[in-house]
Structure 1
Amino acid sequence: MTPDLVLRPGTTGDLAAVAEVHLRARRAAVPAMPPPVHDDDAVRAHLGRTDLTACDLWLGEVGDRVVGYALLTDTWLDDLYVDPAHQGQGIGGALLDLARAVRPGGFDLWVFASNAPARAFYRRHGLVEVGSTDGSDNEEHEPDVRLRAAGASAVRGLSAPRGELG
Structure 2
Amino acid sequence: MDQGEVLLRRAEDADALAAADVWLRSFAAALPSVRCAHSGDEIRHWFAHVLVPQYETWVAVTTNTVVGVMVLKGAELKQLYLDPAWRGRGLGDRFMAVAKQQQPDGLTLWTFQDNASAQRFYERHGFTSIQRTDGRRNDEREPDICYAWKPRAP
TM-score in terms of structure 1 length: 0.84
Separation of aligned partners in 2, 1:29 and 1:95: 18
1:4 and 1:62 in contact (8 A); partners too: yes
| Aligned: 1:36 with 2:40 | no
2:100 and 2:106 in contact (8 A); partners too: yes
| Aligned: 1:26 with 2:27 | yes
For 1:6-85, what aligned pairs fall within 5 Å after superposition? 6-31=7-32, 34-50=34-50, 52=52, 54-85=54-85
Fraction of identical pairs, as percent: 33
1:26 and 1:35 in contact (8 A); partners too: no
Gaps of 5+ in 2: none
Amino acid at match of 1:134: D
2:105 and 2:151 in contact (8 A); partners too: yes
1:25 and 1:82 in contact (8 A); partners too: yes
1:59 and 1:70 in contact (8 A); partners too: yes
With 136-145 and 45-54 compared, the bigger mean Cα shift is at 45-54
CA-CA distance at 1:48 after TM superposition: 1.2
Secondary structure of 2:132's match?
strand
Secondary structure of 1:7's match?
strand
RMSD: 1.8
CA-CA distance at 1:87 after TM superposition: 0.6
Q: What's 1:111 paired with? A: 111
Separation of aligned partners in 1, 2:104 and 2:57: 16
Secondary structure of 2:50's match?
coil
Q: What's 1:100 paired with? A: 100
CA-CA distance at 1:150 after TM superposition: 2.2
Q: What's 1:5 paired with? A: 6
Separation of aligned partners in 2, 1:71 and 1:126: 19
Q: Deviations over 1:82-114 (max 9, x none)?
A: 000111101111111111111111111000011
Residues paired across the two proteins, number: 150
Secondary structure of 2:20's match?
helix
Amino acid at match of 1:109: L
Q: What's 1:159 paired with? A: none
Ranges of 4+ aligned residues in structure 1 off by more than 6 Å: none
Amino acid at match of 2:28: R
Amino acid at match of 2:71: L
Q: Name the structure where helix makes up a greater proportion of residues.
A: 2
Secondary structure of 1:110's match?
strand
CA-CA distance at 1:52 after TM superposition: 4.5
Separation of aligned partners in 1, 2:46 and 2:56: 16
